[in-house]
Amino acid sequence: MTATPLNARIRIGDAGEVLAAVPHLLGFTPADSLVLLGLHTAGDTATFGLTLRLDLPPPEHRRALVEYVSTGPLVRRGVTGVIVVVTGSGTVEHGPPGDPPPDRSDPDPAPGDDVDAPQRELIALLRDGLDEAGIEVLHELWTDRLEAGGSWRCYDDPVCGGRIPDPKRTALGAAMAASGSVTFDSRQELQRLVAPESEQVLARWSARLTGMTEDREREPAGVGVHRDVSIALAGIRRTAAGEALTEDDQLRILLALSDHRVRDLCLGVALGESALAAEQLWLGLVRKAPEPEVAEVAALLAFSAYLRGEGALASVALERVEAGRPEHALGGLLRRALDTGVSPKEMAEMAKDAMTDAQLMIEQEES
């Protein structure tokens, strides 16, 4: 689930341009997916809002998916219209046996390049479910692949179709690139961004953190919380200044964040001018942190990414939390927020509450 972070007005014309926008709206190019482009309509103008991607369900799970879609994030965000996109899982027919395949460089559909758009039962169920929820289905599209030259078809019009322009060469693609946003070629590529750097690094860091934790356990209670807050904030300031952090620096930051009060106070950094520097620091630490320390920094990364509208990055960061600590309280809270469509603004208010609670716990311990 994504709310695109681009603060620009880009006009999108035909269905091919809409499909070319999907990778940029999600942050990656989806395959074998159902994508719902939520829109807020006012008169003749429709503005993109929430973009929701789901795996294509097996037949026995279609109704459950439709129930979730028609009662969940789209409704919570006040979406009034939806463009439904199915990508993949289609059959392309190339005409009589022995005929050459159609020329994929041709910008228009060619005779014999007929496509049997799949998932028609799902589309019909979605149409009914969204109609009951008061959300208008504006268009229903299928494409074999969301990339330059991909063939697309409309579900309700057999002569409606075409080729997708190169997403990187559209006005939206240029604007996203200029803003510094990255569109990944696949969700797997996005997952690799937060994947462990190497087993050797994880093992070394795990051993060092164990020794450092044992040293801290001998400290008097309450001695280290202010020091740990200072360590974490100093790491963010140094990252913002372009200073390289040593391995010792990074290990001390990870250890500081293992105190959930320090972690919760660091949530607030995503609300200020140092947000991108903090996210850069969390991203670097996620790739090196072993269990269980990775959960805290991955949760901070997920929160920061979602606050910027990067729902896909937030989701893969939470997968790192869930893989090792499915019971993690903050990770579970963030996952529920993503799944139910809590807005970045509401997430920011949650962070302020968590910061206040953390500060009160520190003050109570000192009194």
Question: Cβ distance 147 to 164 under 8 Å?
Answer: yes
State both tokens at 85: 């996109």
Q: Which residues are within 8 A (CB) of 363 and not within 5 positions of it... i.e. 6 or more apart? A: none
The Cβ-side half-sphere exposure at 156, using a 13 Å CA radius, reads 10
pLDDT of residue 28: 93
Can you tell me the distance from the alpha carbon of 283 to that of 244, in angstroms, rounded to the nearest whole number?
14
Question: For 310, what's the count of Cα atoms within 13 Å in the CB-facing half-sphere?
Answer: 23
Is the peptide bond preceding residue 102 cis, with omega within 30 degrees of 0? no
Q: Which residues, listed in sequence order, are joined to residue 65 by a DSSP beta bridge?
A: none
Residue type, 185: D
CB 277 within 8 A of CB 284: no
pLDDT at residue 233, rounded to an integer: 94
Question: Which of 299, 342, 344 minimizes the C-alpha distance to 317?
Answer: 299
Give the residue ranges of the chain where pLDDT is below 70.
1-13, 89-116, 172-181, 220-223, 363-367
Confidence at residue 71, expressed as pLDDT on a 0 to 100 scale: 92
pLDDT the model gives residue 98: 37
DSSP string covering 80-93: -EEEEEEES--EEE
- Do 235 and 266 touch, CB atoms closer than 8 A? no
Residue 11: predicted pLDDT: 59
Q: What is the pLDDT of residues 208-234, one digit of tens each?
A: 999 998 888 777 665 678 899 999 999
